[in-house]
Amino acid sequence: MHRKSFLTGLAACAGLALTGLPAIAQEGEPIKIGEINHYKRMAAFAEPYKKGIDMAVEEINEAGGVMGRPLEFVYRDDQGEPGEAIKIAEELMTREGTVMLTGSILSNVGLAIASLAGNREWVYLAAEPLADAVTWEQGNPWTFRLRASTYMQAAMLAEAAAETDATTYATIAPNYAYGKDAVAAFKEVLTELKPDVEFVAEQWPALFGIDAGAEVQAIERAKPDAIYNVTFGPDLAKFVREGNTRGLFEDREVYGLLSGEPEYMEPLGGEAPEGWTVTGYPWYDFEGDANAEFVTAYQERWDETPKIGSLVGYATAQSIAAALEKAGSTESDAIRQAFEGLEVATPAGEIVYREIDNQSTLGAWVGTTALEDGQGVMVDWDYKDGADYLPDDDAVRELRPSE
């Protein structure tokens, strides 16, 4: 059922004439895609992401591949270093025979690959890096992004925050591109929705180098009504544990970007925060839709529960296959043109890669954290369509460099 749904969506968005299984035979050499990521440094996200890609590729190839050829991802580990990612990208495109690039989690690495892609006129699908600059201030015609951007997810949380009585806020975010963008976007949107809000403290710990005790003390001294948290991974775990110990979150609204994602919630176990408003991935609650089909298929394939990275990886492969079919070619410019306005049927629904800024309209889930059976989960959640949280074309033109 899940595989049939995937094929139907792929055919609709790419103009294929697929009629079911068994698939047509594949001929010719594989179409290779260069995938660059932080497999050792951020394994908790990167490994589920890779499994999502692998599952989609298996389905695509069982259905006849792309243009009658098998699809193949060539994986490389950049150790989370921009310089290493650039070196690998060059090797993949000039020596390995890949036709385009994808991947990256950290925004500084994604921005480095995007700059190279723009200069060399290679298509790059930024699957995960969330910094707004990827598609706006430093955007280029050759770089596209799949995940809901920092601005989009921050706007979803700001919308929720504006409905409360809180007027003073403290923020905490990693001191690099993603964290800076996340705070700026939240402040911008919340101030527009509720002009009387005041930001009384801003904390900027080094990425994966947080001194959680000092950060919690600084926020507590500011006595905010609410906290906006952008830390993730091990920094989030340390912040939550120290905040729980010191009572920082008691009687305060807390908004957490990415904090509801299983990659970051599950390691906390029974220490997971309760009552936070977060973006995340409530895979355990999906029923009767394409999301539920994906979850079931993923569990059957890998004998483990999915993460948000699993969905992102799956949709990455779907998007690339759809773009290649639409292009009918592996030439870089043909792939680039195919991505512009591309429609893709994903488990989360149909998404579009907007021509104005190459950003997809994939949305995010927003809900409240709770403890169930000693594990953090999201409750009272809704899926927010990404198209509803993007600025209009005139605003984007001011942000994005002329091309």
Tens of pLDDT, residues 148-205:
999 999 999 999 999 999 999 999 999 988 999 999 999 999 999 999 999 999 999 9
The whole-angstrom distance between residue 120's C-alpha and the CA centroid of its chain comes to: 25
b/e for 108-140, b at 16 or more Cβ within 10 A? Answer: bbbbbbbbbbbeeebbbbbbbbbbbbbbbebbb
> What band does 120 get if pLDDT is binned at 50, 70 and 90?
very high
| Residue 100 to residue 91: CA distance in whole angstroms | 12
pLDDT at position 7: 46
Using DSSP bridges, classify how beta strands 277-280 and 364-372 pair: parallel, antiparallel or unpaired. antiparallel
pLDDT at position 363: 98
pLDDT at position 402: 72
Domain 2-149+286-362 has CATH 1.10.260.40: no
| Residue 66 to residue 31: CA distance in whole angstroms | 8
Residue 382: beta bridge partners? 366
Which 8-state DSSP code applies to residue 402?
Answer: P
- Residue 248's φ and ψ, nearest 5 degrees, are -60, -35
pLDDT at position 16: 36
Q: Note whether 104 and 127 are within 8 A (CB).
A: yes
Distances (CA, A) of 117 to 76, 140, 332: 17, 8, 11
Query: Domain limits of the chain?
Result: 2-149+286-362, 151-282+365-399
pLDDT tens digits, 23-68: 344 468 999 999 999 999 999 889 999 999 999 999 999 999 999 9
At residue 361, does pLDDT exceed 90?
A: yes
Q: What's the pTM value of the predicted model, to 2 decimals?
A: 0.91
Amino acid at 279: T
Q: Can you list the positions of beta strands (E) in 15-108? A: 31-37, 71-77, 98-103
Torsion-angle region of residue 348: left (phi > 0), alpha (psi -120 to 50) or beta? Answer: alpha
pLDDT at position 274: 96
pLDDT at position 177: 87
Cβ neighbours of 388 (radius 10 Å): 12
pLDDT tens digits, 206-256: 999 999 999 999 999 999 999 999 999 899 999 999 999 999 999 999 999
Quickly list H helices, 164-288: 177-193, 212-222, 233-246, 262-265
Distances (CA, A) of 130 to 104, 133, 159, 177, 380: 10, 9, 19, 9, 25
Distances (CA, A) of 344 to 246, 330, 333, 341, 351: 46, 19, 19, 10, 5
> Is there a shared CATH topology between the 2-149+286-362 domain and the 151-282+365-399 domain?
yes
Written as one string, the DSSP assignment of 21-39 is: SSPPPP-SSPEEEEEEE-T
Distances (CA, A) of 247 to 202, 239, 250, 254, 266: 19, 12, 6, 13, 21
CATH class of this structure's domain 151-282+365-399:
alpha beta
